[in-house]
Structure 1
Amino acid sequence: MATAAPAKLQGTAQRFVLHDISWEDYQTFLKVLEDRPIRLTYDHGTLELMTPLPIHERYKSLFTRMIESLADELEIDYYSFGSMTLPSKLLECGLEPDACFHIASAGKVGDWKQYDAEVGPPPDLAVEIDVTSDSRPRLGIYTALKIPEVWRFDGEKLSVLILRNDKYVPSKKSLSFPLVPTDALAGFVQNYGDGTDRAWAKAFRSWVRETILPRVPNDREEDAT
Structure 2
Amino acid sequence: MFSRIFSYQRYRDFYSWKSLEVRFSFVLTVCFYLIFFYMLNLYENISVYLESLKDVLLCIIAGDFGLLGMSLAGMAIITSLFTPETVKIINKIDKNDTINRILSSFEFSALNIVLQIIYMLLLFFVLSSDSPPIQKIFFSFIFIIIVYHIFFNLFYILALIGNCIKLNSIKNTCEKVNKVDKSISDIANEVRIDYLIAAILNEKSIKRWEFVDKLDGMIDTSNIKEKEEVKDYLHNYYGVK
Report the TM-score when normalising by structure 2.
0.25
Greater helix proportion = 2
Greater strand proportion = 1
Greater Rg over alpha carbons, structure: 2
Higher relative contact order (CA 8 A, sep 6+): 2
Report the TM-score when normalising by structure 1.
0.26
